[in-house]
């Protein structure tokens, strides 16, 4: 079991996907699960302050990740929402929804169930600290803000949406601040995690680093 955590746009999803592909593991994007619940909250027009109603909705919503083309397709109650969960509206509300313990309880339970079979790469904010404290390898991925903003801009613009660099930077920093300072499972580096700064690395280099580390711990376990 590999845990990858880190702030927004630090390279987790790309890295987790490719590492999983190389090791023949299953990639589980836990952020996509929080986004899926947030999408349902917005669709139901539940005010973001109504914690109990959001908790109830999370409890009765089926979030399902399906491996597809080495990424995750995301389904809520059987409906494919893979694209919708990346919208700016979801991105702007997801941190608040994710800060509610009731939402986390539901999703963490599901994440642990999926991880039980082993051979998984989970990525998120609390994987090494809360979801899988006994993961074989924990990576805490960081990158310079300017780099993260650039990467996210390219990603967003590839979907046809337009974003202003300064606003994007402000939103990324705000989300990181909120995720790091919340009471329920804040974003923080696990004590036994390896920190990987991807600012000046190519995707190939960051993937290779994690794969090498994984092979080392897997090798040690099998010896
Ligand atoms: O892709 P990006 O790094 O921007 O975000 P994401 O991984 O899709 O996660 C979106 C949001 O979900 C984060 O900002 C957190 O508020 C929340 N999240 C969380 O609380 N716990 C996780 N394990 C994963 C995501």
35 lines ligand 1 (CB under 6 A): yes
pLDDT at 146: 95
3-state secondary structure of 1: coil
- Distance from Cα 204 to the centre of ligand 1, integer Å: 23
149 lines ligand 1 (CB under 6 A): no
The Cβ of residue 113 has, within 10 Å, a number of other Cβ atoms equal to 9
Q: How many CA atoms lie within 13 A of 175 on its CB side?
A: 25
Q: Cα–Cα distance between 214 and 216 in angstroms, integer?
A: 5
152 lines ligand 1 (CB under 6 A): no
213 lines ligand 1 (CB under 6 A): no
pLDDT at 190: 97
- Distance from Cα 31 to the centre of ligand 1, integer Å: 4
94 lines ligand 1 (CB under 6 A): yes
Burial of 33 per CB tally in 10 Å (0-12, 13-18, 19+)? buried
Q: What is the value of pTM for the model shown?
A: 0.94
182 lines ligand 1 (CB under 6 A): no
User: Who's near 183: CB < 8 A, 6+ residues apart?
Assistant: 99
Most informative mutation of 16, 27, 34 for ligand 1 (most atoms within 8 A of CB): 34
15 lines ligand 1 (CB under 6 A): no
pLDDT at 155: 85
Residues of the chain with pLDDT under 70: 220-223
């Amino acid at each position: 079991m590999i845990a990858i955590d880190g702030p927004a746009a630090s390279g987790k999803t790309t890295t987790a996907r490719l590492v999983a592909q190389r090791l023949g593991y299953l990639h589980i994007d836990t952020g996509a699960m929080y986004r899926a619940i947030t999408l349902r909250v917005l669709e139901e027009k539940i005010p973001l302050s109504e914690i109990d109603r959001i908790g109830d909705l999370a409890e009765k919503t089926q979030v399902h990740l399906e491996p597809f083309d080495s990424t995750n397709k995301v389904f809520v109650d059987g409906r494919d929402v893979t694209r919708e969960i990346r919208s700016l509206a979801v991105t702007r509300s997801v941190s608040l929804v994710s800060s509610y313990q009731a939402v986390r309880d539901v999703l963490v339970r599901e994440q642990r169930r999926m991880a039980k079979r082993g051979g998984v790469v989970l990525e998120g904010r609390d994987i090494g600290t809360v979801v899988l404290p006994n993961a074989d390898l924990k990576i805490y991925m960081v990158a310079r803000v300017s780099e993260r903003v650039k990467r996210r801009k390219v990603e967003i613009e590839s979907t046809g949406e337009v974003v202003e660099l300064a606003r994007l930077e402000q939103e990324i920093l705000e989300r990181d601040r909120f995720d790091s300072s919340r009471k329920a499972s804040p974003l923080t580096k696990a004590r036994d995690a390896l920190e990987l700064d991807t600012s000046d690395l190519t995707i190939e280099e960051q993937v290779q680093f994690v794969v090498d580390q994984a092979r080392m711990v897997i090798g040690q376990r099998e010896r």
